[in-house]
Chain A
Amino acid sequence: MTISEIEAEIVSEFSLFEDWMDKYNYLIELGKSLPVIDPKYKTEQYIISGCQSQVWLHAEYREGKVVYTADSDAIITKGIVSLLIRVLANQSPKDIVEANLDFIDTIGLREHLSPTRSNGLNSMIKQMKLYAVVFQQKYGERS
């Protein structure tokens, strides 16, 4: 599936929820399917700065695609990371760099974006794209 197809799928899932209670329960469930980072990467180096909760993110380049793993010590945050990984994982660096991620606005996650310290979602997206940029430069001709 392309990034925009996955985004559309998520938008459709979130449209089922009537209130925030359902939305959070769903995010908690999503967190359970997060591809968990290898414990050896759970170090300062892989912490995403700017998140109030601790979030670790790692990425690898495999056969033209970016494979992300992550973890967090906060339940909802983990669900949000999981959501981002679902959209961006196993896509080419080029597609990841170019992704608009409009679904964030559509499903009402915009409030997680903030110019302050708890700009968790913003930082996560930035870090995920940064990995893609690096892979694009390194393996550019194959992406």
Chain B
Amino acid sequence: MTLNLSFVRSHFPALQDDFIFMDNAGGSQVLESVIDRTGEFFRHHYVQLGASYEVSARAGVLLEETIAELATFIHARNPKEIVVGPSTSMLLRILSICISRQWRPGDEVIVTNSDHEANVSCWTDLEQKGIVIKTWKINPETLRFEMNDLRNLLTDRTRLVAMVHISNILGTINPIKEVAAMVHQAGALLCIDGVAAAPHRLIDVQESDVDFYVFSTYKVFGPHMALLYGKYDLLLEMDGINHYFFTKEDVPYKFQPGHINFELTYSLGAIPSYFTRLHDHHFPDDTSNDFRNKYRRSYDLIAGHEEQLANQLIRYLETKSAIRIIGERSGSREVRVPTISFVHDQLKSSEIVTRVDPYRIGIRYGDFYAKKIIRDLGLEEQDGVVRVSLVHYNTQEEVVKLIEVLEDIL
């Protein structure tokens, strides 16, 4: 069974044009059904929530339903474990402010040098409060994390480890379940930035047993928003940052000052439904009622297709002696997603990308706010890496087009 690309692409209005979108780790294209739901909310339910009149009560129910669907989508135990916010950076900042109120000077947080700053700065800023920050670095040879290095960093003062599920530069999948086990054994918590993972792998917060997991919905075919999952008991025991009259029991409202964006939150309901539709299109005879299984099978199809795309591009890049892939040199779905970065011996990354621009292919260069890894790998002077970030709606023909262009300009 392979992914039906014309079925997939028919769900994305922007893909009806001939522009090739390969900066999807920056932001993916949006589903037509997301646009529809946003418009529907504006047209029919656009009132303040919490009032007793009919339209307000109904709008509240629609949002509750949506959050409940999203909870199932990531396998949260209950909808209250979902905090909605404007961005991953903002949600992690809120989390760091709230959770650190329980900490004392001398307590420790471990960050990595492979993360986007969203899951770094909010923790390193706590040094002002006397929190000790340690950095878990990837092995510069293998570009992988060593579990032993983490073991050596953990102490009885470690309160939290902040780590990226999949690097937005390397595309490598980190073993978060294994990390969670080690971190928990040390009595600490694990906070995962899943932004670069969510478009490619089905999130399962229970299976991985992470304590906090954050991702941005605008990279998962939705609007510019983000969701934070937190284990309920952990969210409950924290103070929030909302008005004084909100109590500890007001989970998740105490973490959502100014309330959430109603219309965009409502639009998010289209994302799980899209994965259901993908499943039902490809497996019409599977009439089970298990939505998680439907999502899983859809993501399996996606991973298979993305693996082909990644292998196609990596095989080409490997033939160019001047090019060095920054990350795994395999497209295998076991080790990576199709977020593929590379550098060139003679050309700056910026030069390559600006030469590609006229061909109407959207790729990108830079550090992608994962500044430490670019610094530690010595790639700052060449303007960071060239990043080609594919998702399941990209086609093999599009990758061929990119390869032809690279062949012309390099």
Binding site for B on A (CB under 8 A): 20-21, 24-25, 27-28, 31-34, 36-39, 42, 52-54, 71, 73-76, 78, 111-112, 114, 116-118
A69 to B5, CA, bound (A): 30
Q: Is the interface of B mostly helix, strand, loop or mixed?
A: helix
Q: Which residues of B contact A117 (CB under 8 A)?
A: 40, 43-44
Is the pair B72, A74 in contact by a Cβ cutoff of 8 Å?
Answer: no
Is the pair B65, A73 in contact by a Cβ cutoff of 8 Å?
Answer: no
A44 to B117, CA, bound (A): 47
Q: Which residues of A contact B269 (CB under 8 A)?
A: 53, 74
Q: Which residues of B contact A73 (CB under 8 A)?
A: 273, 276-277, 280
Is the pair B65, A32 in contact by a Cβ cutoff of 8 Å?
Answer: no
Which of B44, B62, B68, B291 contacts A24 (CB under 8 A)? B68
| Chain A proximity of B66: nearest CB distance (Å) | 8
Q: Digit string of B9-43 for contact with A (CB within 8 Å is 1, else 0)?
A: 00000000000000000000000000001001001
Is the pair B58, A71 in contact by a Cβ cutoff of 8 Å?
Answer: no
Is the pair B65, A24 in contact by a Cβ cutoff of 8 Å?
Answer: yes
A39-B287 contact given A111-B57, A118-B40, CB 8 Å threshold: yes
A142 to B290, CA, bound (A): 37
Contacting A at CB under 8 A, from B55-109, are: 57-58, 60-62, 64-65, 68-69, 72, 78-80
| Chain A proximity of B201: nearest CB distance (Å) | 20
| Chain A proximity of B283: nearest CB distance (Å) | 9
Q: Which residues of A contact B280 (CB under 8 A)?
A: 42, 71, 73
A111-B289 contact given A24-B65, A28-B72, A73-B277, CB 8 Å threshold: no
Q: Which residues of B contact A76 (CB under 8 A)?
A: 65, 68-69
| Chain B proximity of A7: nearest CB distance (Å) | 20
Question: Of all chain B residues, which has the CB nearest A34?
Answer: B289
| Chain A proximity of B187: nearest CB distance (Å) | 29
Question: Of all chain B residues, which has the CB nearest A76?
Answer: B65
Is the pair B65, A33 in contact by a Cβ cutoff of 8 Å?
Answer: no
A116-B289 contact given A20-B64, A52-B37, CB 8 Å threshold: no
Total contacts A to B, CB within 8 angstroms?
78
A103 to B44, CA, bound (A): 26
Question: Of all chain B residues, which has the CB nearest A114?
Answer: B58
The 9 closest A-B pairs by CB, nearest first: A24-B68, A116-B44, A111-B61, A73-B276, A36-B287, A39-B284, A111-B58, A76-B65, A73-B273
Size of the chain B interface, CB-CB below 8 angstroms: 32
| Chain B proximity of A127: nearest CB distance (Å) | 20
Q: Which residues of B contact A111 (CB under 8 A)?
A: 54, 57-58, 60-61
A44 to B276, CA, bound (A): 17
Which of B62, B69, B277, B287 contacts A118 (CB under 8 A)? B62
B362 within 8 A of A: no
A38 to B286, CA, bound (A): 10
A27 to B67, CA, bound (A): 13
A111 to B78, CA, bound (A): 21
Is the pair A114, B289 in contact by a Cβ cutoff of 8 Å?
Answer: no
| Chain A proximity of B62: nearest CB distance (Å) | 7
Q: Which residues of B contact A39 (CB under 8 A)?
A: 284-285, 287
Q: Which residues of B contact A74 (CB under 8 A)?
A: 69, 269, 272-273, 276
Contacting A at CB under 8 A, from B127-162, are: none
A21 to B291, CA, bound (A): 18
A113 to B43, CA, bound (A): 16
Q: Which residues of A contact B45 (CB under 8 A)?
A: 116, 118
Question: Of all chain A residues, which has the CB nearest B274?
Answer: A73
Is the pair A78, B289 in contact by a Cβ cutoff of 8 Å?
Answer: yes
Of the A-B pairs whose beta carbons lie under 8 Å apart in the complex, a sample of 21, sorted by A's number, is: A24-B68, A25-B79, A36-B287, A39-B284, A53-B273, A54-B273, A54-B277, A73-B277, A74-B269, A74-B272, A76-B68, A76-B69, A78-B289, A78-B291, A111-B54, A111-B57, A111-B60, A111-B61, A114-B58, A116-B44, A118-B40
Q: Which residues of B contact A24 (CB under 8 A)?
A: 64-65, 68, 79
A54 to B280, CA, bound (A): 12
A111 to B60, CA, bound (A): 9
A57 to B371, CA, bound (A): 53
A39 to B272, CA, bound (A): 20
Is the pair B289, A33 in contact by a Cβ cutoff of 8 Å?
Answer: yes
A42-B62 contact given A73-B273, A75-B69, A117-B40, CB 8 Å threshold: no
A31 to B60, CA, bound (A): 21
| Chain A proximity of B282: nearest CB distance (Å) | 12
| Chain B proximity of A50: nearest CB distance (Å) | 12
A25-B78 contact given A73-B277, A74-B273, A111-B60, CB 8 Å threshold: yes
A34 to B289, CA, bound (A): 7
A141 to B352, CA, bound (A): 79
Is the pair B44, A21 in contact by a Cβ cutoff of 8 Å?
Answer: no
A75-B72 contact given A21-B78, A116-B44, CB 8 Å threshold: yes
